[in-house]
Amino acid sequence: MGDWKTGEGKRLPPPTHLPPPGPCTCPVGSTLLKEHIPKDQYEKLVKRRAKELQQHKARTTSVLSRLLFASPNSPLQYPTQGFNVLPLTSTLIPGLALHAGQRSSYKVSLHVSKGLLTTDVTAEGVKVQGAGESRLVMESSSPVTLNHLLAKVSYTSTVYHIHTGDLASFQFEEHEAVFPIAIRQPLLPVLYDMGTNVSSHVTVTTKTFLRYAQLKVLLSSIRRFYSNIEVIIADDSFEPENITGEHIRQYIMPPAQGWFAGRNLAVSQVTTKYFLWVDDDFVFTEGTKIEKLVEVMEALPELDVVGGTVRGNQFYFSLLYEEGEEMDGGCLYRKSKGKFHSLSGYPQCSLASGVVNFFLARTRSVQRVGFDPKLQRVAHSEFFMDGLGSLLVASCDHVSIGHQPQTSHNEDDAKYSKFRHPPSSDAELKLQLHFFKNHLKCIKYG
């Protein structure tokens, strides 16, 4: 195999970084978010957004994001993936070895930037320089002896960090290999005792506002099929009505705090492995088989959210995101009825980016993403936007819930409609939020 060379015969080093992303392409019909920022605020807002983006990158990227290439015909053996070390802890580097032809002497070096290197020196006729430093040089006339030393090289990080990395340079003559070292504090498992029945698996959560008649119908339907399941209600009504009953917890909020604030409160109080989100005007039916959704989640533990259907409506969507360049921001397209492929073993379920308001979710996963309380009125897709890349979502058509018919209007219904249909200023706030918080240039709903 020939070397990768220039026209003059000199080996051309591979690039070390991918080029930064260029401007993304806004789909036809997109909303350009900068047009919804007041002109007198735009310049300062963009500067604050750029600063926040740099801090976000500092928290979410590391040297391990660097693009690495394996040199052709290298005699160096080294770990290419999976070498993890505890911070400030000495760990043997596995797999280090040299496979070279006959020479009078063999000399290798290792160099790191965030740690120290050591090895055991037990053989005669071996030269070791830099033991206990960031650069370690070893030389021997015997490849067997040298490989014995390489097998005993340890790495110790010098700075405490819970999730970072280092790049180790391994050199022999003109050959150089660079391999990653992941420095990580292991995650302590957070496990849930599933118990023996669905009531120990799942908590039902909902948010109510001025709709006690509908809420009582929902609660009655839940008890018809699940007599002991825990129900958590977040309530931000102006004059809260006390909801009583076994296995019901009602949390009273300040008035009119909004849907996402209520979702946050309800989910924060869940103690089971899963929670089932339902709207307060839904109704359980014969098709509301929570166990079937639990079965999917237990069979495929990588899933975080599984949605069902509401009165036969299997609403789901895909999110197509292009990062875009740093100053402009990214482009996002929410494609209704967009999905990816079916789940292995469950052809009635397909992977998507977001689902309808009736879904079973892994409590721990959703708590990590959260619901932005700035979104008070009409908001649903925004949760899945914030969870893009964090939540693995599926939509299933074999579990359903009903929707209560509209009743005659009363005073509370009139108040509710006023808040349910917000003024245009709320829509503007949402677009401004996407511009800054999600670092978007444009967004399209299709």
CATH of the domain at 349: 3.90.550.10
What was the pLDDT predicted at 214? 96
Residue 9: which pLDDT band, with cuts at 50, 70 and 90? Answer: very low
Residue 28 has pLDDT above 70, yes or no: yes
Residue 410: which pLDDT band, with cuts at 50, 70 and 90? Answer: low
Residue 423: which pLDDT band, with cuts at 50, 70 and 90? Answer: low
Residue 426: which pLDDT band, with cuts at 50, 70 and 90? Answer: confident
259: three-class secondary structure by DSSP: helix
Separation of alpha carbons 309 and 400, rounded Å:
5
pLDDT tens string 188-240: 999 999 888 999 999 999 999 999 999 999 999 999 999 999 999 999 999 99
Half-sphere exposure of 106 (CA within 13 A, CB side): 22
What was the pLDDT predicted at 1? 36
299: three-class secondary structure by DSSP: helix
Residue carrying the six token digits 């978007």? 440
Residue 8 has pLDDT above 50, yes or no: no
Shared domain for 304 and 340, answered yes or no, is yes
Q: Which two tokens stand for residue 15?
A: 């690039």
CATH code where residue 154 lies: 2.60.40
Query: In three state form, how does the secondary structure of 107-151 look?
Result: EEEEECCCEEEECCCCCCCEEEECCCECEEEEEECCHHHHHHHHC
Shared domain for 358 and 417, answered yes or no, is yes
Least confidently predicted of 173-182, 300-309, 415-424:
415-424
Residue 3: which pLDDT band, with cuts at 50, 70 and 90? Answer: very low
Is residue 205 one of the residues assigned to a domain? yes
Shared domain for 101 and 171, answered yes or no, is yes
What was the pLDDT predicted at 138? 96
Is residue 299 one of the residues assigned to a domain? yes
Is residue 316 one of the residues assigned to a domain? yes
Shared domain for 226 and 357, answered yes or no, is yes
What is the residue range of 264's domain?
198-445
Among 135, 152, 184, which residue terminates a domain?
184
Confidence (pTM): 0.88
Shared domain for 237 and 320, answered yes or no, is yes
With residue 164 as reference, give the H or E element that holds it: strand 163-172
Shared domain for 250 and 391, answered yes or no, is yes
Least confidently predicted of 7-16, 153-162, 431-440:
7-16
Residue 11 has pLDDT above 70, yes or no: no
Q: What average pLDDT does range 175-193 have in this prediction?
A: 94
Between 117 and 417, residue with greater pLDDT: 117
Q: How many domains, the chain?
A: 2
Residue 307 has pLDDT above 50, yes or no: yes
Shared domain for 392 and 285, answered yes or no, is yes
Is residue 63 one of the residues assigned to a domain? no
Residue 415: which pLDDT band, with cuts at 50, 70 and 90? Answer: low
Shared domain for 165 and 112, answered yes or no, is yes
Q: Of 201, 269, 280, which Cα lies nearest the Cα of 243? A: 280
Cβ-based neighbours of 418, under 8 Å, separated by 6 or more: none
Residue 349: which pLDDT band, with cuts at 50, 70 and 90? Answer: very high
Cβ-based neighbours of 14, under 8 Å, separated by 6 or more: 4, 69
Residue 411 has pLDDT above 60, yes or no: no
What was the pLDDT predicted at 407? 67
CA–chain centroid gap for 8, Å, is: 47
User: Rounded mean pLDDT of the chain?
Assistant: 91
Under DSSP, the state recorded for 276 is: E
Residue 20 has pLDDT above 80, yes or no: no
pLDDT tens string 363-409: 999 999 999 999 887 778 999 999 999 999 999 999 999 999 986 55
Is residue 61 one of the residues assigned to a domain? no
Is residue 64 one of the residues assigned to a domain? no
Asked if 114 contacts 158 with a C-beta cutoff of 8 angstroms, the reply is yes
Is residue 30 one of the residues assigned to a domain? no
**Cα separation of the two ends of the chain:** 50
Shared domain for 279 and 420, answered yes or no, is yes
Shared domain for 213 and 132, answered yes or no, is no
Is residue 32 one of the residues assigned to a domain? no
Shared domain for 286 and 403, answered yes or no, is yes
Q: What average pLDDT does range 303-313 have in this prediction?
A: 96
Shared domain for 208 and 90, answered yes or no, is no
Residue 83: which pLDDT band, with cuts at 50, 70 and 90? Answer: very high
Among 144, 160, 184, which residue terminates a domain?
184
Q: What average pLDDT does range 253-262 have in this prediction?
A: 93
Cβ-based neighbours of 344, under 8 Å, separated by 6 or more: 300
Among 152, 184, 216, which residue terminates a domain?
184
